[in-house]
Amino acid sequence: MATQAEPAHMKLNYIILHGRYLVLEELVTCVRAQLDGDYLHLDTGNWYTARQIFGATFMGLLTHRERLLVGSVLSHLANQGEVPLLKVSRYRRYPNQNEVCGQP
């Protein structure tokens, strides 16, 4: 029995974060869309986790794995200059999470 070619909409694209993580491009696009230039609720100089930036409603729509990756996606976007945020790390308090500071 012959198999049909995979439909174009089934193709999965990945983005490499920090040179080591493969993440679905769809998640990165979703994070960008969720930010969409809305930084008004962030105070300059304060530290925010991804959960604080995106809120419980958005985070609740994600799978457990996606919730773990959202901080890395946000950190990657900040490092690439795609969002006006500064990435900072606080390893003693959040050993496995990236925190992002308010607007520079």
- Virtual CA dihedral for 33, 34, 37, 40, nearest 10 degrees? 170
Secondary structure letter of residue 42 according to DSSP:
S
pLDDT in tens, 44-96: 777 888 888 888 999 999 999 999 899 889 888 888 888 877 777 654 454 44
Query: Does the global pTM surpass 0.85?
Result: no
Per-residue pLDDT at 64 = 92
Give the integer Cα–Cα distance in Å for 15 and 72: 12
Q: Hunting for tokens 């959040």 — which residue is that?
A: 94
Q: Residue for token digits 């945020």?
A: 85
Amino acid at 93: R
